[in-house]
Amino acid sequence: MQIYRLLTEDDTAAFCHKVSGAISKGWALYGDPQYAFDHANGVMRCAQAVVKEIDGDYHPDMNLGQQ
């Protein structure tokens, strides 16, 4: 089955590291990255969806970051 995550972070190297880390664990990019200005904090925010094929069934209590 395929599971989905949305990775978010301020527009810094931390975002790139987060996405790179997910890719290194078998996650695949899903769609284009998105950027938006966070007016409350005065920073750009990034988001990237990722997907991964896993064995078994989805459960809402899964820790997707550990998959």
Distance separating alpha carbons of residues 63 and 35, to the nearest angstrom: 25
pLDDT of residue 31: 97
pLDDT of residue 59: 84
Q: H or E stretch including 19?
A: helix 13-24
Nearest to 64 by CA among 55, 56, 52: 52
Q: Report if pTM > 0.85.
A: yes
What are the sequence ranges of the domains in the chain? 2-59
For the cut 80, the answer to whether the pLDDT of residue 67 exceeds it is no
Of 65 and 47, which is predicted with more confidence?
47
Render pLDDT for 23-47 as a digit per residue (tens, 0 to 9): 999 999 999 999 999 999 999 999 9
